Amino acid sequence: MDVTTPANAPWLIVGLGNPGPEYAANRHNVGFMVADLLAERIGGRFKRAGKAQAQVVEGRIGPPGPLNRRVILAKPMSYMNLSGGPVNALKDFYKVPVANIVAVHDELDIDYGVLRLKLGGGDNGHNGLKSMTKAFGAEYHRVRFGIGRPPGRMQVADFVLKDFSSAERKELDYFVDRAADAVECLVVEGLERAQSTYNS
């Protein structure tokens, strides 16, 4: 646990993606997939969050006792490049410190299925992160889910808005499950433990 963060402060876990069935299986929506699995694990269902343009589930993660954490799972419904507004509204409403925000997102510069966890840093051209950083600064956690680079001359925008390939889909459930484990470890046991366990 970071020294700067009160132990009882809630965590805001944000799965990044685009709303709508046409985007649901896209590479760019892997953050939504991880958020959905986490919601399933805590026995919650996403519902509209008041005035915020997002869907949320509230619950708890971790064993009973001091390591049990209050969490708000969120899926912004604003489209990826405007994610910062809804996340900022949820941060203010639930009084979440920026250091207790976790963005789960696709990452082009990492091989498919590989995870990298970190605190702060640049957006690496990711429009969801760019929007969040503009809204409240860069010192939030990231769980970066590798999707690899586009093949041949395919444009990045086309690649991220395509569904995972049939070969990738064979392993997708396993990788999403592992990413959800990594989020839980980060929230309950801290960044260093999560990095040593899940950064491959």
Token pair recorded at residue 108: 């082009």
DSSP assignments along 41-80, one per residue = HTT---EE-TTSSEEEEEEEESSSSTT-EEEEEEEESS-G
CB-CB contact of 154 with 108 (8 Å): no
Provide the β-strand partners of residue 56: 47, 74
CA distance 7 to 11: 10
Which among 28, 105, 126, 141 is annotated as catalytic? Answer: 28
CA distance 17 to 79: 7
In the residue annotation, 28 being an active-site residue is answered as yes
54-61 and 47-48 strand pairing: antiparallel
CB-CB contact of 140 with 119 (8 Å): yes
Q: Which residue type occupies 163?
A: D
As annotated, the active-site residues are 28
